[in-house]
Chains A and B, each alone.
Chain A
Amino acid sequence: MADHNDTGYDAGALDAAFVAFRTELSGRVSPPGPDAVRHTVRRRRRVAITTGLAVALVLVLAPVAGYAALGRNSPPPTGPASTGRPTPSPTVAPTPTAAPTPTVSATPGVPDGRISRAQLLGARLDLPAWPARSPCENSRVRLTEETARDGDNLLVALAYGDVDRDGATETVATVHCVVGTHGPRQVVAFDRDESGRIVAMGRVTRTEQGPPEWIFDDVEVRPDGLVRVQLGDIAPGGGWDVAWTLRQWRGYTWDGKRFVQSEGERGFPENPRRMSLAVTATDLVYGAADDAGQRTGAVTVTMNNLGELTAERPRLVFTLSPGGGQATASPGWYACQKVSTEGEKLYCDLPPMAPRTERKLTFHILTTGTEPPTRGTVAFQTLDDKGGVAVDFGDWDNRATLTVR
């Protein structure tokens, strides 16, 4: 009789099945033994030494061969070659210019996921995709150490550790796609495949358009395989001081297929230094000509302070071409603390605007001649205490095009 209890299954049958499994199979396991372990480790060690030695010999013998090719006497033997038995050391690794491709393919052992800076810089790599509209390539790219031009994939930071917790080392790199002083960044884990080729395991994390816009240069791999990355809400540059950027350490773990965040905050709070204004406007509609032949247009402008800072000196700037315009009696202009004009521009300096507030004003604008302008824009900005335009983020929404009719 099956023993289901209240578990919904026959617990006794399961126990019995596993006991039988264990009993039957136990005698069939044939451990190769600890000596086989030593044999394997010794062989791998020997291969490692041979690899190092081969490189050492190439480094030493290359100039000798060069000399011979020139038909001159060989220079006196130096260094390891003079002993005939160079001592391999961890420092006898391929040099930055030698062996851009991995050297492990001839190795019968486990591919080495510890990839040196030089090897990473020397290889053609397939990176996880960059954001759309990014100028950087991600297929068969070569990383650079110094920025030369937009579109370069700059190697920013390197770390090593067993990220997939399989007992072998992998390589984690922060890569920056250079776009002026900004550009996206991503942290990528690299390993080698069985042929020794460097392959990207996957992306640990990357910057976004909007927080997190920045990844700082430090990346770490903890002994338990967790990859720690320091993220910033706003990318430095373009007037934004890195000191104003909010920082968060976040941790990511490999789940067998991809990296998932397992530690740290998942979002940034509003940055107290962040100014974010936005503006929209209706069409600029002109009426019939008056006795003097001038026409009056009307436009309603909606201003938003989206950020957490008070806009102390907000300003609207109308640009009307050709001909500009003149302010004329309407609620909008009355709301201004100061109205001024300069060429085709009309300025309205407004009183301070609190965070997260909206203001809607209608402006009447008189043509300077008899014909209305054919095109126009309105910009919304705030001045800093020096009279310059304060840094605004997401400044794509600080200007609206006016459809004139």
Chain B
Amino acid sequence: MTTELNLDALPPVTPADDVGTGGSAGIDFDAFYHAHFRPMTLQLCAYTGDLGQAQDLVQEAFCRAFARWDRVVRYDDPVAWVRRVAWNLATSRWRRLRTAQTYLRRQREEHVPGPTPDRVALTAALALLPPQHRRAVVLHYLADMAVAEIARQEGVAEGTVKSWLHRGRVALAAELADRKERNDG
């Protein structure tokens, strides 16, 4: 998108020290960003197993939203647009993220405490699920999305999502129970 020279489509870019609205139609970009960055990052972290990468993906999705904010803000559900872009980036062919990654790599160099065993266990158990089951489970538990909404995002029938969800939950619960037993034993 960088060399898409349609500058008219870009929102006004305010100076860094002037945190402008960058938006229209009543939705403030900054408020929108702050309201949705964390939840989306959690979802993608659960899906990819990598917090840094999840932040990259969500930041990139917000960049793409901002670059066409005038349009996105008029959609019925701008959050769904950003979430879909972030999730599609997670499975995209080239992870077209260089710019955001460069920035974020600097942020990640700060020391962060290691994950708790429970988080490690859930992440590892999620990683064993087929990607579609994993997406359905994560969207259900961490994005609080209804079956119909997941079906819409994934472009499949609701029955398919129900099946993914059920199979994902059964497998996930069994894996967590196994791990607990091994650790307790």
Q: Which residues of A contact B (CB under 8 A)?
A: 2, 7-11, 13-15, 17-18, 20-22, 24-26, 28-45, 47-49, 51-52, 88-90, 92-93, 103-104, 107-114, 164-169, 191, 193-194, 201, 253, 255-256, 262
29 contacts between A and B (CB under 8 A): A7-B170, A10-B173, A10-B177, A17-B122, A20-B116, A21-B119, A22-B142, A24-B116, A26-B42, A28-B112, A30-B107, A31-B59, A32-B55, A37-B59, A40-B100, A42-B13, A48-B5, A88-B7, A89-B5, A109-B1, A111-B96, A164-B88, A166-B88, A166-B92, A166-B96, A167-B64, A167-B85, A191-B93, A201-B93
Cβ–Cβ < 8 Å partners of A104 in chain B: 2-3
A113–B93 alpha-carbon span in the complex (Å): 13
Complex-state Cα separation, A49 to B7, whole angstroms: 9
Closest residue of chain B to A16 (Cβ to Cβ) is B118
How far does the Cβ of A382 sit from chain B's closest Cβ, in whole Å? 47
Beta-carbon contacts of B17-56 to A below 8 Å, as 1s and 0s?
A: 0010010000001100110011001100110000100010
Known contacts being A38-B16, A88-B5, A164-B88, is A31 close to B173, with CB within 8 Å? no
Is the CB–CB distance between A24 and B119 below 8 Å? yes
Q: Which 4 A-B pairs have the closest CB atoms?
A: A167-B64, A109-B2, A9-B173, A167-B85
Instruction: Report yes or no: A165 in contact with B88, Cβ–Cβ below 8 A.
Output: yes
Q: Which residues of A contact B41 (CB under 8 A)?
A: 29, 31
Residues of B close to A37: CB separation below 8 A: 29, 33, 59, 62-63, 66
* Listed residue (A7, A44, A191, A201) with the most chain B CB atoms within 10 angstroms of its CB: A44
Listed in ascending order, the chain B residues whose CB lies under 8 Å from chain A are 1-8, 10, 13-14, 16, 19, 22, 29-30, 33-34, 37-38, 41-42, 45-46, 51, 55, 59-67, 84-85, 88-89, 91-94, 96-100, 102-104, 107, 110, 112-113, 115-116, 118-119, 121-122, 141-142, 155, 166, 169-170, 172-174, 176-177
Residue of A nearest to B172 (CB): A14
Interface of B is mostly: helix
**A14 and B1 contact, CB distance less than 8 A:** no
Establish whether residues B1 and A20, one from each chain, have CB atoms under 8 Å apart when the complex forms. Answer: no
* In the complex, number of A-B residue pairs with CB atoms less than 8 Å apart: 210
Contact A48 B3 (CB under 8 A): yes
Across-interface contacts of A34 in B (CB, < 8 A): 19, 22, 29-30, 33-34, 62, 66
A residues less than 8 Å from B22 (CB atoms): 34, 38
- A110 and B5 contact, CB distance less than 8 A: no
Given the known A-B contacts A22-B42, A194-B94, are A31 and B34 also in contact in the complex, defined by CB atoms under 8 Å? yes
Report chain A residues within 8 Å CB of B66.
34, 37-38, 41
Contact A24 B33 (CB under 8 A): no
Within 8 Å CB of A110, what residues of B?
1-2, 60, 96-99
Chain A residues within 8 Å of B104, by CB: 32
Residues in A whose Cβ lies below 8 Å from that of B116: 20, 24
Residues of B within 8 A of A49 (CB): 7
Are B115 and A24 in contact, CB atoms less than 8 angstroms apart?
yes
Knowing A109-B2, A167-B64, the reply to whether A40 touches B103 (Cβ < 8 A) is: yes
State how many angstroms separate the Cβ of A162 from the closest Cβ of chain B. Answer: 9
Most chain-A Cβ atoms within 10 A of its Cβ — which of B3, B37, B112? B3
Residues A103 and B3 in contact, CB atoms below 8 Å apart: yes
Q: Give, as a whole number of angstroms, the nearest-CB distance from A152 to chain B.
A: 29
Chain A neighbourhood of B55, CB < 8 A: 29-32
A6 to chain B, nearest CB (A): 12
**Residues of A close to B113: CB separation below 8 A:** 28
Q: Are A20 and B169 in contact (CB under 8 A)?
A: no
A41-B99 Cα distance, complex, nearest whole Å: 10
Inter-subunit contact A43/B1 (CB<8 Å): no
CA distance A178 to B3 in the complex (A): 33
Q: Which A residues are in CB contact (< 8 Å) with B94?
A: 111, 193-194
Contacts of B61 in A (CB 8 A): 167
Known: A30-B55, A41-B13, A44-B2. A7 touches B169 (CB 8 A): yes
Given the known A-B contacts A37-B59, A114-B4, are A45 and B141 also in contact in the complex, defined by CB atoms under 8 Å?
no
Q: Which residue of B lies closest to A7 (CB)?
A: B169
> Do residues B13 and A38 form an inter-chain contact, with CB atoms below 8 A?
yes
In the bound assembly, the distance between CA atoms of A113 and B1 in angstroms comes to 7
User: Measured between C-beta atoms, what is the minimum distance from A358 to chain B in Å?
Assistant: 44
A residues in contact with B142, CB < 8 Å: 18, 21-22
- Cα-based distance from A10 to B89 in the complex (angstroms): 32
> Within 8 Å CB of A166, what residues of B?
64, 85, 88-89, 92, 96
How close is A254's CB to chain B, nearest CB, in angstroms?
9
- 20 other A-B residue contacts (CB within 8 Å) besides A21-B119, A31-B41, A253-B155: A11-B173, A13-B176, A15-B141, A17-B176, A24-B116, A25-B45, A26-B42, A29-B55, A32-B103, A32-B107, A34-B29, A37-B59, A38-B66, A52-B5, A89-B7, A108-B102, A110-B97, A167-B61, A167-B88, A194-B94
B1, B6, B10, B100 interface centre (most CB from chain A within 10 Å): B1
